[in-house]
Chains A and B, each alone.
Chain A
Amino acid sequence: MSRTFSIGGIHPSDNKISVNAAIENFPLMEMAYISLSQHLGAPAEPVVAKGDKVKTGQLIAKANGFISANVHSSVSGTVASIEPLPDLAGNPVQHIVIKVEGDDWLENINRSSEIEREIKMSGPEILAKIAECGVVGLGGAAFPTHIKLSPPPGKKAEYLIINGAECEPYLTSDYRLMLEQPEEILIGAKIMMKALNVNKCFLGIEDNKPKAIKKMKGLCSKSYPQIKVVSLLKKYPQGGEKQLIDAIVKRQVPSMGLPIDTGVVVQNVGTALAVYEAVQKNKPLFEGIVTVTGKCMTEQRNFRMRVGTTFESMIFAVGGFPKDAEKLISGGPMMGKAVSRIDASSVKSTSALLLLTEKETKRGEEGNCIRCAKCVEACPMGLEPFLLNRLSRAGKTEELEANFVQDCIECGSCIYTCPANIPLLDTIRLSKAQVLKMLRTRPKK
């Protein structure tokens, strides 16, 4: 029996049309546009200058502050400029632009595909190596991994959960990774267990990926007995951190709390691979798996892609811009971001480029709330989106706080399910910002 989280959730059709597309290497680009804000926290500080020669994997910007991450060159060549360029939303962000010349990797990166099973480093050495290699969470938020693996004083991790749910429709990058590099993921998990000093790990996979479940179960029972594969119900947002913890260990992260408050650390399968590569192969995080998909496209592909590839080149690699594609999404259709500039480039946590037609993505005309309570039923946090929307439009910040607007995880289930097409999450997002502002000005008790 598949497990699931206890409150709410929706069942969008999963549309995993790229499911059979094996991972292939994306052709090297001519110019790489590497963002210095690829992670949650402060932008990295450049350590190269215009005209410098860099090698693939070389550090080009270093973490700046506690929550920040190193950035490495994804290509070899010459630094052409360091300048603000638009990110996918069109906001200027500092980028290092590198003119690609060949593909000359740093010598200390182990490029063999042979699996390194023995973990030689100690816990603190592992954390240092992960930080050095600029590994960030690849499940979406891009939170620096070494910080997440270092619980704050007084908190102790009991379990590690590896997130292989991939509950977003269309995405198959994590799935392909689990099929094609399963053992590397499991070794990555073991490395993180060592860093966290825990001896129990769960790997959660939605039951619409039976092949991945079977493969991982086989490997775990043979060689990785501390890792238990858990089959999860296909239900959105099963891969949400709080929902995953609830589904697997039956503990709920307290409101305004962190997963570590339940003794759990969650990491994505892509992150597990990045950790493996950093610790066992000395390879910094500068490439990742990206699904390029859409029903309007003739080809569905999964690429291993260097960071700093433009969305434009991804579209041209799969046969050009389909006539009827009107919306580009970086990530999945439920939580991904709409791309406003196709000349913007990929970052470490880019998991997909999804092309949708206007018909697929159009929001219907907004009607009156009919109080059907479908949003209440769908909300995985047990909130009342209809009420939050009403309070938000009335500007009632205090009441919004009293109705726990800050607990919203922005999964979008409420909008998805609303028959009156009310932009519930849009107004809730605005309210969250308002409430946060109010909380910040409030004197501490």
Chain B
Amino acid sequence: MKKLIVSPAPHLHGEKTTRNLMRDVIIALSPSLLVSVYYFGFSAVKLALVGAVTAVLVEFVIQRYIIKGKITINDYSAALTGLLLALNLPPNSPWWIVFIGSVVAIGIAKMTFGGIGQNLFNPALVGRVFLLVSFPAIMTDWTIPASWFREGIDANTGATALSIVKEGLAKGIPMDQIFSENNFSYTQMLFSKIGGSVGEVSAFALILGFVYLLIRKVIKPHIPVAIIATVMVFSGIFWLIDPGHYTDPLFNVLTGGILIGSVFMATDYVTSPMSTRGMVFYGVGIGIITMLIRNFGAYPEGISFAILIMNACVPLINTYFKPKRFGREVNNG
């Protein structure tokens, strides 16, 4: 008699795997990557490649020679971490910056906790914040995007929009003047030409990635929407009270890594909550902490720190925010 396979139900499996989920996130990042290649040319490619390759190599070496365990580099998760880190650096960072960041991200933030699924903090963000506090000069030296076809790579360097505003206000320059002197416009912010990291040149490209992730059901909208809404409400209140000292909500959302942070960093599976109620709480928390840092702290951007702080709260959030249970919260009749 023919040998049959016998196992418990269900007998079918869906098509999603860890590998193709990670691949989808990389695909969602590609519009932003392409835009940055358009503006920064080879330096964007270099950073992305060094970031991804280093991350994969570090994971391989640790799993092969130190842990001597299963090698999981095929799941694209390490490559994604390296790529995300690269996209969150200033465009003209030297290659060794992203190399060090990747080693910290994978070696310390991911592997010491036990590899994929085990880490408490978002590895790419740990890498980025490590670089930010270790190499503050390099990490805040931003190239203003200008098509390298026309103007060459070393076009302009400067600060991000948020730090320009922060410094300007500190010097007592009125808000209108800061905006007009620096030619800030929302069209620019939406499509290009705003000082910032490699991956956030174009808000439109990031939104495209967000839509792709939603369509492919890789992420739920709750976290990004909660963060963006909170930032808008929070900054809106301050702006209405004193428009001379506080930037408007749209400006706050389109600058300083809110989009790339909320869509690609805060939604990291491993370090975000499991229930939708928890996701909303987590997103609101990130939004509030970001705005507290922006309005009252020393750093102009703040979302990296906000996400890491909320990462630390995730185990507690998972304990207190449970999914809606069937048959336990209803009143029949």
Identify the A interface with B (CB < 8 A). Answer: 6-7, 10, 12, 89, 169, 242, 246, 251-255, 257, 261-262, 321, 326-329, 333-340, 342, 354, 356, 358, 360-361, 363-364, 367-374, 376-377, 379-384, 386-387, 404, 407, 410, 412, 415-417, 419-421, 425-426, 429
A371 cross-chain contacts in B, Cβ below 8 A: 117, 269-270, 272, 274
Q: How far is the CA of A246 from the CA of B327 in the complex (A)?
A: 10
16 contacts between A and B (CB under 8 A): A242-B327, A252-B330, A252-B332, A326-B4, A327-B4, A327-B6, A329-B11, A340-B6, A367-B72, A367-B116, A371-B117, A372-B21, A374-B16, A381-B327, A382-B323, A412-B10
Contact yes or no, B117 A334, CB < 8 A: no
Q: How far is the CA of A380 from the CA of B333 in the complex (A)?
A: 21
Contact yes or no, B323 A376, CB < 8 A: yes
Closest beta carbon of chain A to B328's beta carbon, Å: 5
A354 cross-chain contacts in B, Cβ below 8 A: 11
Q: How far is the CA of A254 from the CA of B325 in the complex (A)?
A: 10
Q: Is there a chain A Cβ closer than 8 Å to B14's Cβ?
A: yes
Q: How far is the CA of A253 from the CA of B327 in the complex (A)?
A: 5
Closest beta carbon of chain A to B14's beta carbon, Å: 5
Interface size for chain B: under 10, 10 to 19, 20 to 34, or 35 or more residues?
Answer: 35 or more
Closest beta carbon of chain B to A195's beta carbon, Å: 23
**Which among A242, A321, A327 has the highest number of chain B CB atoms within 10 Å?**
A327
Closest beta carbon of chain B to A346's beta carbon, Å: 17
Closest beta carbon of chain B to A373's beta carbon, Å: 4
A10 cross-chain contacts in B, Cβ below 8 A: 14
**Which among B11, B16, B269, B323 has the highest number of chain A CB atoms within 10 Å?**
B11
B1 cross-chain contacts in A, Cβ below 8 A: 342
B10 cross-chain contacts in A, Cβ below 8 A: 333-335, 412, 415-416, 425
Other-chain contact of A425, B8, B75, B220, B327 (Cβ < 8 Å): B8
SS class, residues of chain A in contact with chain B: loop
A356 cross-chain contacts in B, Cβ below 8 A: 11-12
Contact yes or no, B326 A417, CB < 8 A: no
Q: How far is the CA of A395 from the CA of B44 in the complex (A)?
A: 50
Q: How far is the CA of A358 from the CA of B6 in the complex (A)?
A: 11
Contact yes or no, A373 B12, CB < 8 A: no
Q: How far is the CA of A252 from the CA of B331 in the complex (A)?
A: 8
Q: Is there a chain A Cβ closer than 8 Å to B115's Cβ?
A: yes
Q: Is there a chain A Cβ closer than 8 Å to B30's Cβ?
A: no
- B290-333 with Cβ < 8 A to chain A: 322-328, 330, 332-333
Whether A367 contacts B12 in the complex (CB less than 8 A), given A252-B332, A327-B5, A380-B326, comes out as: no
- B1-60 with Cβ < 8 A to chain A: 1-2, 4-14, 16-18, 20-21
Contact yes or no, B17 A7, CB < 8 A: no
Beyond the given A255-B327, A368-B116, A384-B275, please list 11 additional residue pairs across the A-B interface where CB-CB is below 8 A: A10-B14, A334-B12, A336-B9, A338-B8, A367-B18, A370-B116, A377-B220, A380-B326, A382-B325, A412-B9, A416-B14
Closest to A158 in B: B333
B117 cross-chain contacts in A, Cβ below 8 A: 368-371, 420
Contact yes or no, A327 B11, CB < 8 A: yes
**Which 10 residue pairs of A and B lie closest in terms of their CB atoms, listed nearest first?**
A412-B10, A368-B117, A382-B325, A372-B269, A251-B332, A373-B274, A252-B330, A327-B5, A338-B6, A381-B326
Other-chain contact of A338, B2, B11, B12, B115 (Cβ < 8 Å): B11
Whether A417 contacts B14 in the complex (CB less than 8 A), given A326-B5, A412-B9, comes out as: yes
Whether A384 contacts B322 in the complex (CB less than 8 A), given A339-B4, A371-B274, A425-B10, comes out as: yes
Whether A379 contacts B323 in the complex (CB less than 8 A), given A169-B12, A336-B9, A339-B4, comes out as: yes
Interface string of B191-232 (1 = CB under 8 A from A): 000000000000000000000000000001000000000000
Contact yes or no, B323 A383, CB < 8 A: yes
Contact yes or no, B324 A382, CB < 8 A: yes
Contact yes or no, A404 B325, CB < 8 A: yes
Q: How many A-B residue pairs have CB under 8 A?
A: 164
Other-chain contact of A12, B14, B77, B323, B332 (Cβ < 8 Å): B14
Q: How far is the CA of A329 from the CA of B14 in the complex (A)?
A: 18
A416 cross-chain contacts in B, Cβ below 8 A: 10, 12-14
Closest to B16 in A: A419
Q: Is there a chain A Cβ closer than 8 Å to B112's Cβ?
A: no
Q: Is there a chain A Cβ closer than 8 Å to B118's Cβ?
A: yes
B323 cross-chain contacts in A, Cβ below 8 A: 7, 376, 379, 382-384
B324 cross-chain contacts in A, Cβ below 8 A: 7, 382
A6 cross-chain contacts in B, Cβ below 8 A: 326
Contact yes or no, A373 B269, CB < 8 A: yes
Closest beta carbon of chain A to B59's beta carbon, Å: 13
**Which among A339, A354, A381 has the highest number of chain B CB atoms within 10 Å?**
A381
Whether A336 contacts B328 in the complex (CB less than 8 A), given A370-B18, A370-B117, A373-B274, comes out as: no
A377 cross-chain contacts in B, Cβ below 8 A: 220, 276
A340 cross-chain contacts in B, Cβ below 8 A: 4, 6
Q: How far is the CA of A255 from the CA of B328 in the complex (A)?
A: 6
Contact yes or no, A361 B330, CB < 8 A: no
A429 cross-chain contacts in B, Cβ below 8 A: 8
Contact yes or no, B8 A342, CB < 8 A: no
Q: How far is the CA of A70 from the CA of B232 in the complex (A)?
A: 68
Closest beta carbon of chain B to A124's beta carbon, Å: 28
Closest to B77 in A: A370
- B252-274 with Cβ < 8 A to chain A: 269-270, 272-274
Q: How far is the CA of A340 from the CA of B5 in the complex (A)?
A: 7
A257 cross-chain contacts in B, Cβ below 8 A: 327
Contact yes or no, A361 B12, CB < 8 A: yes
Closest beta carbon of chain A to B150's beta carbon, Å: 43
B114 cross-chain contacts in A, Cβ below 8 A: 368
Q: How far is the CA of A327 from the CA of B275 in the complex (A)?
A: 35
Other-chain contact of B9, A242, A337, A382, A420 (Cβ < 8 Å): A337
Q: How far is the CA of A330 from the CA of B9 in the complex (A)?
A: 11
Closest beta carbon of chain A to B77's beta carbon, Å: 8
Contact yes or no, A364 B17, CB < 8 A: yes
Closest beta carbon of chain A to B40's beta carbon, Å: 32
Contact yes or no, A417 B325, CB < 8 A: no
Closest to A170 in B: B12
**Which among B2, B9, B274, B330 has the highest number of chain A CB atoms within 10 Å?**
B9
- B72-92 with Cβ < 8 A to chain A: 72, 75, 77
**Which among A12, A372, A404, A412 has the highest number of chain B CB atoms within 10 Å?**
A372
Closest beta carbon of chain A to B151's beta carbon, Å: 42
Other-chain contact of B274, A7, A361, A384, A412 (Cβ < 8 Å): A384
Closest to B72 in A: A367
Q: How far is the CA of A35 from the CA of B165 in the complex (A)?
A: 81
Interface string of B116-132 (1 = CB under 8 A from A): 11100000000000000
Contact yes or no, B5 A358, CB < 8 A: yes
- B58-117 with Cβ < 8 A to chain A: 72, 75, 77, 114-117
